[in-house]
Structures are given as C-alpha cells and as structure tokens.
Amino acid sequence: MSTPKIELRDVHKTFGSNRVLRGVNLSIAPSESMVIIGGSGTGKSVTIKSVLGLVKPDIGMVLVDGKDVRKQKREPLLDKFGMLFQGGALFDSLRVWENVAFRVLRSKSTDECRELAIEKLRRVGLGPDTADRFPAELSGGMQKRVGLARAIATSPEIIFFDEPTTGLDPIMSDVINDLIRELVVELKCTAMTITHDMTSVRKIADKVAMLHEGVIQWTGPVDDLDTCGNAYVDQFIHGRADGPIEALR
C-alpha cells in the first residue's frame, strides 16, 4: 500500500472550553478526492486548517507524504497546496490577474504572470477581459472561479475546497462541481473538500468522511454512502431532524 498523501493521526484541538477535534484519524491516498461532510461547527474547517498549519493541533500528528508537517520547511510544504476558500478570499486591492498569479508575482515577469493568469482564467471559463477587473466588480460565481483559478495556478499536488458551492445558485453550483472534478482529474492532484451540499459530494468525491463531535464517524467510498448503515451518515444525507445528530429547535 502506497504512503497516504495526507494523514491525520489522533488530532485534537480545543478553543477555550470548546473541544472541536477529539481525535480525528483520516487517511487520503494520492490522487484521491476526499470529501468531509458534517454539520456546522463540527470541526471541518479546523481539520483543513490543521493540515495547512493555520491551526496547530494540541495533540496528534498531521503527515503529508508520510512526513510530519511540523518537521517540514513551511514554504516548500505550502507550495504543494492550493486552496479555494468559502468566500473566495480574493485580495480586494489587487486585480484579478494579480490574484490568480499571486504565488509567482515575485519570481516571474509581469507579462509572464499575466499570461499565466489569463490561461488559468480561461481554464475556469472566464475570458481575458476579467483579468484587469477588481474582485469587487465580479459576481459571486465569478469570484469562485477566480478563486479556483488561483488554487490551480501553480498546479499544486493537493487542493482544498472549503464549501465550494456555498452562496451559489444550483446551476452555478453544478458548473463549479464539474470544474472541480475536471481539474482534480486533469491535474492528478489529491483533493480534500468540505461541504454540506450532497450534490457536490456525489459529483466530487471518491471517498467520503463523516465528521461529528470532533471524530470521524464513518469513512468509505462515495458509492457506499447510501448503504453504509451508519446512523450519522444516514441522518445527514437524508437531512432528517431526528437521529443521533442533535438539531437545535
């Protein structure tokens, strides 16, 4: 069995009195698309941020390519990652092409950066006329696409997608889901997505992990999702208020 691309071993994280992660164990194989599902506030974003080093686990270990991230040099490690943030997180003061080519702005000439940005924008379905606009001038769907173009700009080995379809209409959501799937296959990269959107899950995922109360309750292939027999998964995918996941009323 090959070394997992990403592995979380017994990861714990507490903020004040809130124990968000209580021993997360998760393994993602190279070129696999893993989708983490779970209710709001169950620690999905904290899990992704733990891998990126934006949040430091209290206990446990995060491994990328079999090596503990704490023992790896930060910049080369981060160069392996691309990330699409929930709200896009585009830099307001920079033009779209500068956002897309941000990682290479200092190492390449302006013309090369622009060219790279326009090529990546085209890949996500945006024309070159978008390049000189500011993020605030774009619609939500276009901002997501620009965020996607930025995430794939340097063809990273691992891409994280944080709620990629939140705030989009169903048609635009479907377009973004298709794009994500195409790009993951095309770049042969490892993908980790967190979402509530079951349509996204079925389109994007090879494997699914259900996170609840700070631990992974179930993980398995997306095809087994409907027949896994896990009560948490069953309640979540059918959107029922009754079940082991307590819903506030």
Partner 1 sequence: MAALSALHGFVAGIGAAVLGLCQSIGAVTLFAIKGVLAILVPPWYLRELFRQIMKIGFYSLPVVGLTAVATGGVLALQIFIGGSRFNAESVVASIVAIGMVRELGPVLGGLVVAGRVSAAIAAEIGTMRVTEQIDALTTLSTNPFKYLVAPRLVAGVLTMPILVAVADIIGIMGGYLVGVNRLGFNGATYLRNTMDFLTFGDVASGLVKAAVFGFIITLMGCFHGYNSGRGAQGVGRATTNAVVSAMVLILAFDYLLTELFFST
22 or 133, CB closer to partner 1? Answer: 133
Phi, psi of 94 (to 5 degrees): -110, 150
Which residues on neighbouring strands pair with residue 209, listed in sequence order? 36, 219
102 or 134, CB closer to partner 1? Answer: 102
Q: How far is the CB of 85 from partner 1 (least distance, A)?
A: 5
Phi, psi of 66 (to 5 degrees): 80, 0
What is the spatial distance between Cα 144 and Cα 141, in angstroms, rounded to a whole number? 5
Q: How far is the CB of 147 from partner 1 (least distance, A)?
A: 9
Q: How far is the CB of 225 from partner 1 (least distance, A)?
A: 29
81 or 218, CB closer to partner 1? Answer: 81
Q: How far is the CB of 135 from partner 1 (least distance, A)?
A: 10
What is the spatial distance between Cα 78 and Cα 92, in angstroms, rounded to a whole number? 22
Q: How far is the CB of 86 from partner 1 (least distance, A)?
A: 7
41 or 221, CB closer to partner 1? Answer: 41
DSSP letters spanning 19-68: EEEEEEEEEE-TT-EEEEE--TTSSHHHHHHHHHTSS--SEEEEEETTEE
Provide the CB-side half-sphere exposure for 221 (13 A, CA).
2
Q: Where on the chain is the footprint of partner 1 (CB under 8 A)? A: 49, 52-54, 74-75, 78-79, 81-83, 85-87, 89-93, 102-103, 106, 150
105 or 198, CB closer to partner 1? Answer: 105
Q: How far is the CB of 222 from partner 1 (least distance, A)?
A: 26
Q: Residue 140 contacts by C-beta under 8 Å, 6 or more apart in sequence?
A: 167, 168, 172
Contacts of range 212-218, beta carbons closer than 8 Å, 24 or more positions apart: 212/38, 212/39, 212/42, 212/245, 213/22, 213/42, 214/12, 214/19, 214/20, 214/21, 214/22, 214/23, 214/24, 214/42, 214/43, 215/21, 215/22, 215/23, 215/24, 215/25, 216/24, 216/25, 216/26
81 or 232, CB closer to partner 1? Answer: 81
81 or 97, CB closer to partner 1? Answer: 81
Q: How far is the CB of 78 from partner 1 (least distance, A)?
A: 4
